[in-house]
Amino acid sequence: MSSVLVTGAGGFVGRYVLQELLAKGLQVHAVQGLNSAAGDPRAQWHRLDLLDGVVVSALLAKLRPQQLVHLAWCAKPGSYWTSAENLLWVRATLELLEAFHRHGGEAAVIAGTCAEYDWRYGYCQEALTPLQPATVYGRCKNAARELTEVFTQVHGMPVAWGRIFQVYGPHEPAGRLLPATCQALVRGQEARCSHGQQLRDFIHVQDVASALLHLLEVRACGAFNIASGQPTRLQTVVEYLASQLGRQELLRFGAIAAPAGDPPLLVADVQKLTSLGWQAQLDLHSGLDDTLAWWQSSLQHN
């Protein structure tokens, strides 16, 4: 049976990647941090520090997985954009790839980010839009991507790099726009937002997981945008959530300032990904309904 190693397996995207892999009947090795709880019991869980190259190499020597899905990175809300820990993850990603290849690895997919692009251009196309990140997080992700390209050139092993855009859905970390809005509206509280005119490219986390695994399955190589390819105003998304609950009067647009450097437009060209035969399964309304239902259930039981 083919085996897959998934880092960050208990995270927002990781839990969906895990579900899809297990549904395919694959042997899944799920890696989480030392202080994280194990998830789906059908996977074999391994707790370790992925920043410790010796420990990582020992695990890969023992497991010898054929495929790798690398999702782990520093992701602490509010600090990951500027954290020095990003630098450690650049090194850790290359060490993980080297150990994976050394112990029989055949193909990998790694989670990148739209923050690798120069956001002043708004429309992001893999071969055309400049890669000039404005944040420590974006610069380190882009540096890791460049190293994976060199790795592929040297070793000949296919590595796909999935640049994820505005991912949303159940289990999204608190503090982001959609979780904050859903929580406030479900509780009957004011939902404080910026002006809401920003255009973003939303994609449900389930579709992000399927896209990453499709890239792995077809042994894709290089960078691919993972998004819907459709721009939607933040105001439109927030108003839809409020309308589903009948609580439009709780919306407070302009109550908070937009973040510094917040681009008016950020949308992906997804032709490179869809040309490989992948298609999103959830339209925006279906995805938002799913997200809102999860928050209603989650808050009801807490």
Nearest to 217 by CA among 162, 147, 141: 162
User: Distance (Å, rounded) from C-alpha 28 to C-alpha 4?
Assistant: 5
pLDDT digits (tens, 9 = 90+) for 20-70: 999 999 999 999 887 777 788 899 999 999 999 999 999 999 999 999 999
Please tell me the total number of residues recorded for the chain in this structure: 302
| Confidence at residue 267, expressed as pLDDT on a 0 to 100 scale | 98
> What predicted TM-score, i.e. pTM, was given to this entire model?
0.96
**Largest distance between two CA atoms of the chain:** 59
* Average pLDDT rounded to a whole number, residues 104-120: 97
pLDDT for 77 beyond 80: no
| Confidence at residue 1, expressed as pLDDT on a 0 to 100 scale | 60
pLDDT for 83 beyond 70: yes
Domain covering 3-166+202-226: architecture:
3-Layer(aba) Sandwich (3.40)
pLDDT digits (tens, 9 = 90+) for 166-182: 999 999 988 889 999 99
SS3 call for 29? strand
Q: How many CA atoms lie within 13 A of 162 on its CB side?
A: 29
Residue 199: pLDDT band with limits 50, 70, 90:
very high
- Please state which of the ranges 4-13, 71-80, 156-165, 221-230 shows the lowest mean pLDDT: 71-80
Nearest to 74 by CA among 137, 156, 146: 137
Q: Which residues contact 5 (CB under 8 A, 6 or more apart)?
A: 29, 31, 60, 63, 65, 67, 68, 69, 100
Evaluated on CA atoms 227, 231, 232, 233, the torsion sign reads positive
Q: Looking at domain 171-201+230-265+281-300, which of 3.90.25.10, 3.30.70.330, 1.10.760.10, 3.40.50.1220 is its CATH number?
A: 3.90.25.10
* Alpha-carbon distances of 45 from 24, 49, 53, 89, 207, rounded to whole Å: 18, 13, 18, 21, 24
285-289 contacts at long range (C-beta below 8 A, 24 or more positions apart): 285/240, 286/204, 287/168, 287/169, 287/202, 287/203, 287/204, 287/206, 287/207, 288/168, 288/237, 288/240, 288/241, 288/244, 289/244
User: Which amino acid does the sequence have at 10?
Assistant: G
Contact 291, 169 (CB under 8 A): yes
User: Distance (Å, rounded) from C-alpha 114 to C-alpha 202?
Assistant: 12
User: Distance (Å, rounded) from C-alpha 11 to C-alpha 31?
Assistant: 10
Average pLDDT for the chain: 95
**Domain boundaries of the chain, sorted by first residue:** 3-166+202-226, 171-201+230-265+281-300
pLDDT digits (tens, 9 = 90+) for 223-236: 999 999 999 999 99
Residue 302: pLDDT band with limits 50, 70, 90:
low
| Confidence at residue 110, expressed as pLDDT on a 0 to 100 scale | 98
| Confidence at residue 184, expressed as pLDDT on a 0 to 100 scale | 95
| Confidence at residue 73, expressed as pLDDT on a 0 to 100 scale | 96
Residue 156: pLDDT band with limits 50, 70, 90:
very high
User: Distance (Å, rounded) from C-alpha 185 to C-alpha 195?
Assistant: 18
